[in-house]
Amino acid sequence: MEISIWQAIVLGIVEGITEFLPISSTGHLTIVEELMGLSIEDSGVTAFTAVIQVGAIAAVLIYFAKDIGRLAAAWFKGLFSAQARQNHDYRFAWYVIAGSMPIALVGFAAKDFITGPLRSLWVVAAGLIIWSGAMAFADHAATQLKDEKALTLKDSLIIGFAQCLALVPGVSRSGATITTGLLRDFNRVTATRLSFFLGIPALTAAGIYELPDALKSDSVSMSSLAVGTVVSFVVAYASIAWLLKFVANHTLKVFIWYRVILGVAIIGFLLWGPQA
């Protein structure tokens, strides 16, 4: 079954909304794909969802263009100047690179397992509910005393390894990184910004890696890929702006309750739904 344009639009909206909110984009895409009758075991469908993430990453690149340009310039200067290597932006750029390595290695090594047994609504429900407990604890226990300038290599690696948990559908990449950032005593805005920056290499690499499979699949057309990616970009840009404003003044409680309710609803559907 080929992904139609209207399905691509829906999936693009879901991806754009959920990629950076701590509610699991993979989990929501799996749910919506099931509801639309798409096979979540189809490698083409899996590749499609990975590729349209590039639209969300493009939104991050544009939204944080000035910050990224500053970090890139500092990193490049630091490669040739000892004095420039004292700049916090130079170190921060390396921390983002280092923090992105764990998910790249684990994701590549465990690709078959991630796209196979883990693509299950039972796994999504479990991930949503169980990780909500971690989020609730972090939101309550965090001192929020640290900002971006306090980031160390140790912090970035710990948060980077936590990002690997997002390979389990339902956990959420942003949920894992924001939660761990809070447990490292960063404030919510800093933890959220770190989540955005760490997502750039990881999601871009995933999209590029899956693109050949998407193009070879009978389930995916160039037009559906293009539409899904563009819609994802537009919606993700708005989502980023909203989330940064929200976390500046609110706890993660609304996301935690949403995750728990959705997880319980999925379990109820699996146990007592029409196909149970």
% helix, strand, coil for the chain, step of 5? 80, 0, 20
Q: 158-211 pLDDT, tens per residue? A: 999 999 998 888 999 999 999 999 999 999 999 999 999 998 887 777 777 777
CB 190 within 8 A of CB 148: yes
Mean pLDDT of 11-40: 90
Of residues 1 and 24, the one with the higher pLDDT is: 24
- What does the pLDDT read at residue 1? 64
How many residues can be counted in the chain? 276
Closest CA to 191 of 222, 150, 227: 150
Per the structure, how many domains does the chain have?
Answer: 1
pLDDT of 133 reads: 96
The domain containing residue 47 runs over which residues? 5-272
The per-residue pLDDT for 111 is: 64
Tell me: the pLDDT tens digits for 205-256?
777 777 776 667 777 788 999 999 999 999 999 999 999 999 999 999 999 9
Q: What is the pLDDT of residue 85?
A: 92
Identify the burial level of 106 via C-beta atoms within 10 angstroms of its C-beta, where 0-12 means exposed, 13-18 middle and 19 or more buried: middle
Instruction: State the pLDDT at residue 92.
Output: 94
- Give CA angle at 178 (94, 72), nearest 5°: 25
Answer whether residue 276 shows pLDDT above 70.
no
53 pLDDT higher than 60: yes
Q: For 119, phi and psi rounded to 5 degrees?
A: -80, 75
Beta-carbon contacts of 15 under 8 Å, excluding residues fewer than 6 positions away, are: 25, 29, 49, 52, 53, 55, 56, 228, 232, 235, 236
Average pLDDT over residues 141-152: 93
- Taking residues 122-137, what's their average pLDDT? 95
Whether residue 140 has pLDDT greater than 70: yes
Look-up of token digits 């800093």? 190
Given a contact cutoff of 8 angstroms between Cβ atoms, the answer to whether 115 and 39 are in contact is no
Residue 37 confidence class, pLDDT cut points 50, 70, 90: confident
Tokens 């754009």: give the residue. 16
Separation CA 52–CA 40 (nearest Å): 16
3-class secondary structure per residue, 121-165: HHHHHHHHHHHHHHHHHHHHHCCCCECHHHCCHHHHHHHHHHHHH
pLDDT per position as a tens digit, 106-128: 877 766 665 566 778 899 999 99
- pLDDT tens track for 60-106: 999 999 999 999 999 999 999 989 899 999 999 999 999 998 988 88
Record the pTM. Answer: 0.90
Q: Is the pLDDT of residue 59 over 70?
A: yes
Copy the structure tokens of residue 126. 């479990």
pLDDT at residue 107 in the model? 72
What are the angstrom distances between the C-alpha of 213 and each of 43, 46, 186, 202?
Answer: 7, 9, 39, 18
